[in-house]
């Protein structure tokens, strides 16, 4: 691992992030008000003493830059004075967990004004006597231990979250460098899966989905992406049609049609990536697989070519749907006039999720009722506002031969005449295809952070 | 990954495990009573839609064998009738998560009598009208949704947990095969770290602790150990003295004294392993490192040679302490008569944790106040009863040059005369050594599941 290639910057811009958040806070709350947020704490599994892997809560990571557990942040809004509150670790615990960093190092790295101990926090808040405490309502974070009961009525959970989400939507240059790095290294891990899979195929060795997941995590980790942004999806054969398949425990089929759909992205210092590649187990796309693959790629390329500030998500969604529908007619899976088919929404038998989502699903109308909206045909993660410079988004069209979905449409007497079952059976064997890139919206287009190949011939070349 | 070498058995002995647990339940509760336990459920991180990695709750895994989320188990104690309760997954969710296994497959694999849906559970319990519901008090598991309110007073959380823990202490042959496999594959991962580290040293390349953690996880995962039993400790240089160091993010020093202490074990189908190896970064132990290493190894070997049914944990602890103290006097770190030094406990400046713990810390007087007891000098995970055949335990002596600990002892005027500070400074640079094996207690001794080398010359050979 070459440490020097990591985009590490030791000084974190706590102040820059906070000042941006402050812009979105109601001015009436500033005088006498404070911002208070508690970072994540470590947990143990069930009733055991097995400590669970810790990952900082995202809003706290944004506000403070601190990736370790047990910290808090207090900011006096009027004076912009930032207090970082660190855990007071007893001497005996230091024996087991190590000596904490000195305050001087924390002050320097996080560019905050003061360091406090958590054991001093309650007293300190008493002393501050804030008129309002702007905070977040995050699961599993218990504020009561630290905020004096007398201040309970001054706690305001309405404004801070919206302000942070607004601030997080447009990325700072440093954030962009982290996101770029995460997507590029994840791309390398995807390329490694392709070449590894090809090598094993040529050696006549069968492999398990679990081995590909393990390899993906290893390539990410050794480049500093120690956590995954989400549970990887390594779906081979028919499982490629299951959008959130995460079992990753089946032997990979080695017939000529079989594909591996790998949807996985590593996370670097809490900044994620979201990448999907689909490749043929046998190192060559079958004719059917190539036909479906190229439709999805065409749809993705059409979107990528049009993305820029001012573009609306919904228009991109419509563009994808138009291309998919049109192409499905061409290869004979859908039967009828394109206009009517679009109107009826029958393409949703093969395409039932949104195509453009904000990276990590972090902001912009997060969907709390995924299934319900999918049923209604609404795409997920609907971003209402137009795209803007320095947003980071994903573009992820797909086509899926999912039996639950196909049955629901083709067995419905109102719709069955729009489907050619023989053609469906011919293509059903390939499972599904998704191609997903993480891209930055630039001044006049995009920078695609995702550098793993997408053309069928390039994938085949990498696998040989 | 060679699937065939995994000790997979598709039929799980739910009944065998349950009947063993039943032996430890109070007979008075059997008539009219049921056993009810809910398995783990999936969770999302903070207020995001990022699903966290799922790992079954251990007692549920023991009772049911089910590793997937959302299951329950109900057993009618009088008739030994076992009901496995599976989640009722709506059609639309199957679109995203896949079609669940048919009931026939579940009946066969888990050798239970009936399959129920969770949506039927409340009604079913009403119908059963149990006089007592024996269940567990496990964190994060909310029973109220499923147990009728009318039965609230019939819930008994006193007996089941003790019974399961008693049953889990002595392993079945199948459990032993899983534990053996987990420890053996973890041993291979440790060997891989040694040879990888040696290779990088010879190439003149510096590596980071994170890279070794990533490699350990990869070697485990590709052999089917998809989860770690605990957060790996990859502690290099001075960090080897910090017992629960898990940051694993520092560049590994490459001086002649530097050691890597790797405490990590993979988990196979919820059955874990716990292995520690300590090896020299420069591929050769320095004289000081070898001296300390050999003391620890001598202590471990002494214990391993004596373990068998009937042996008391406490006697093994005393044996280790005796050897460590004696040897620390020999090399001049401790000064005085061994008897007096033992009495004073001054060896605890360098040895401050227990040496024999039950695997995964799963049963046998689990210590809820680790720090307090460490301060008092009590070893951890104190097993009160004598060892017995088919227990699986770990043996993990260590010596640590931890500044917090050394300062506490050597700056105390009552104790400072027992320490030679010049000698301590000579050895302090090596950080710490721990050697830990997972072993099975057999009829007349042990089977050591841990097959990674321990002799300094064997480690050096592997690194060359």
ipTM of the complex: 0.88
- From B41's Cα to the closest Cα of chain A, the distance in A is 11
The pLDDT confidence band at residue B233, using thresholds 50, 70 and 90, is very high
What are the backbone angles phi and psi of residue B87, rounded to the nearest 5°?
A: -70, 140
Percent of chain A residues topping a pLDDT of 70: 89
Distance separating alpha carbons of residues B272 and A405, to the nearest angstrom: 39
**DSSP class per residue in B198-220:** HHHHHTT---BHHHHHHHHHHHH
Q: Please indicate if any CB of chain B lies within 8 Å of the CB of A213.
A: yes
A90 Cβ contact partners less than 8 Å away, ≥ 6 residues apart? B371
Q: Please indicate if any CB of chain B lies within 8 Å of the CB of A253.
A: no
Residue B231: list chain A partners with CB under 8 A: 51, 53
Task: Sort A431 into a burial class: Cβ within 10 Å, 0-12 / 13-18 / 19+.
Answer: buried
Look at strands B266-267 and A114-117 and give their pairing.
unpaired
DSSP state of B361: G
| CB-side neighbour CA atoms (13 Å) of A194 | 27
Q: Please indicate if any CB of chain B lies within 8 Å of the CB of A201.
A: no
Determine contact, residues A256/A286, Cβ cutoff 8 Å: yes
- A189 pLDDT higher than 90: yes
Any idea where the domains of chain B sit in the sequence?
3-167, 170-463
Average pLDDT over residues B11-37: 92
Evaluate whether A3-168 and A170-463 have a shared fold: no
- B10 pLDDT higher than 70: no
Q: Please indicate if any CB of chain B lies within 8 Å of the CB of A67.
A: no
Q: Position of tokens 């090399």?
A: B331
Distance separating alpha carbons of residues A257 and A273, to the nearest angstrom: 29
In chain A, whose CA is at the least distance from the CA of B374?
Answer: A92
Q: Please indicate if any CB of chain B lies within 8 Å of the CB of A28.
A: no
Instruction: Give the tokens for residue A342.
Output: 């679009």
- A363 pLDDT higher than 60: no
pLDDT in tens, B59-82: 999 999 999 999 999 999 999 999
Distance separating alpha carbons of residues A410 and A419, to the nearest angstrom: 7
Q: Do B46 and A53 touch (CB under 8 A)?
A: no
In chain A, whose CA is at the least distance from the CA of B229?
Answer: A50
Q: Specify the CATH superfamily of domain A3-168.
A: Creatinase/prolidase N-terminal domain (3.40.350.10)
Residue A93: list chain B partners with CB under 8 A: 371
Question: Which residues sit opposite A155 in a β-bridge?
Answer: A133
In chain B, whose CA is at the least distance from the CA of A367?
Answer: B49
Percent of chain B residues topping a pLDDT of 70: 89
The pLDDT score that the predictor gives to residue A56 is 92
- From B318's Cα to the closest Cα of chain A, the distance in A is 22
Q: Do B222 and A239 touch (CB under 8 A)?
A: no
Determine contact, residues A115/A86, Cβ cutoff 8 Å: yes
Average pLDDT over residues B91-110: 89
Strand, coil or helix: what is B115?
strand
Q: Please indicate if any CB of chain B lies within 8 Å of the CB of A69.
A: no
- From A82's Cα to the closest Cα of chain B, the distance in A is 24
- From B102's Cα to the closest Cα of chain A, the distance in A is 15
Q: How many CB pairs under 8 A join A and B?
A: 172
Determine contact, residues B408/B320, Cβ cutoff 8 Å: no
pLDDT in tens, B256-306: 999 999 999 999 999 999 999 999 999 999 999 999 999 999 999 999 999
In chain B, whose CA is at the least distance from the CA of A60?
Answer: B46
- B450 pLDDT higher than 50: yes
Q: Please indicate if any CB of chain A lies within 8 Å of the CB of B373.
A: no
The pLDDT confidence band at residue A379, using thresholds 50, 70 and 90, is very low
A331 Cβ contact partners less than 8 Å away, ≥ 6 residues apart? A291, A295, A423, A427
Distance separating alpha carbons of residues B158 and B160, to the nearest angstrom: 6
- A12 pLDDT higher than 90: no
The pLDDT score that the predictor gives to residue A368 is 36
CATH of domain A170-463: 3.90.230.10
Percent of chain B residues topping a pLDDT of 90: 72
B283 Cβ contact partners less than 8 Å away, ≥ 6 residues apart? B197, B198, B201, B202, B460, B463, B464
The lowest-confidence range among A451-460, B47-56, B326-335 is: B47-56
Q: Please indicate if any CB of chain B lies within 8 Å of the CB of A98.
A: yes
Instruction: Give the tokens for residue A336.
Output: 């009828």
Average pLDDT over residues A345-359: 70
Residue B3: list chain A partners with CB under 8 A: 206, 208, 251
The pLDDT confidence band at residue A251, using thresholds 50, 70 and 90, is very high
Strands across the sheet containing A259-263 = A233-236, A259-263, A276-280
Fold of B3-167: Creatine Amidinohydrolase; Chain A, domain 1 (3.40.350)
């Amino acid at each position: 691992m070459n440490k020097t290639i990591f985009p590490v910057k030791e000084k974190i811009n706590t102040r820059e992030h906070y000042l941006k958040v402050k812009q979105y806070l109601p001015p009436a709350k500033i005088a006498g008000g404070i911002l208070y947020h508690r970072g994540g704490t470590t947990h143990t599994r069930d009733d055991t003493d097995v400590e669970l892997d810790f990952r900082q809560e995202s809003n706290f990571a944004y506000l403070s830059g601190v990736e370790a557990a047990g910290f808090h942040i207090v900011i006096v809004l009027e004076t912009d004075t930032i207090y970082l509150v660190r855990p007071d670790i007893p001497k005996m615990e230091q024996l087991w967990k190590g000596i904490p960093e000195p305050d001087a190092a924390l002050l320097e790295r996080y560019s905050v004004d003061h360091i406090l101990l958590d054991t001093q926090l309650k007293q300190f808040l008493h002393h501050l006597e804030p008129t309002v405490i702007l905070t977040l309502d995050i699961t599993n974070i218990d504020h009561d231990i630290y905020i004096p009961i007398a201040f309970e009525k001054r706690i305001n959970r309405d404004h801070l979250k919206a302000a942070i989400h607004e601030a997080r939507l447009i990325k700072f240059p440093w954030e962009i460098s982290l996101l770029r790095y995460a997507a590029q290294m994840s791309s390398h891990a995807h390329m490694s899966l392709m070449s590894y899979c090809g090598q094993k195929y040529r050696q006549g060795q069968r492999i398990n989905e679990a081995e590909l997941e393990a390899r993906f995590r290893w390539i990410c980790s050794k480049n500093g992406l120690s956590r995954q942004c989400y549970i990887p999806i390594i779906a081979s054969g028919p499982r490629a049609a299951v959008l959130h398949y995460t079992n990753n425990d089946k032997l990979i089929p080695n017939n000529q049609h079989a594909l591996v759909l790998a949807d996985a992205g590593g996370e670097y210092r809490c900044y994620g990536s979201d990448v999907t590649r689909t490749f043929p187990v046998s190192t060559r796309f079958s004719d059917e697989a190539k036909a479906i693959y190229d439709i999805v790629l065409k749809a993705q390329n059409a979107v990528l070519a049009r993305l820029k500030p001012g573009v609306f998500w919904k228009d991109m969604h419509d563009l994808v749907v138009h291309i998919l529908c049109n192409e499905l007619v061409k290869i004979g899976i859908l039967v009828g006039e394109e206009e009517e088919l679009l109107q009826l929404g029958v393409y949703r038998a093969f395409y039932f999720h949104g195509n453009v989502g904000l990276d990590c699903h972090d902001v912009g109308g997060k969907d709390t009722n995924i299934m319900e909206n999918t049923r209604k045909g609404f795409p997920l993660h609907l971003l209402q506002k137009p795209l803007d410079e320095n947003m980071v988004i994903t573009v992820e069209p797909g086509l899926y031969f999912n039996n639950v979905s196909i049955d629901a449409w083709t067995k419905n007497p109102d719709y069955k005449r729009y489907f050619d079952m023989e053609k469906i059976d011919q293509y059903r064997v390939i499972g599904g295809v998704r191609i997903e890139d993480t891209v930055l919206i630039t001044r006049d287009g995009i920078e695609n952070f995702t550098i793993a190949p997408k053309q069928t011939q390039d994938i085949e070349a990498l696998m040989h």
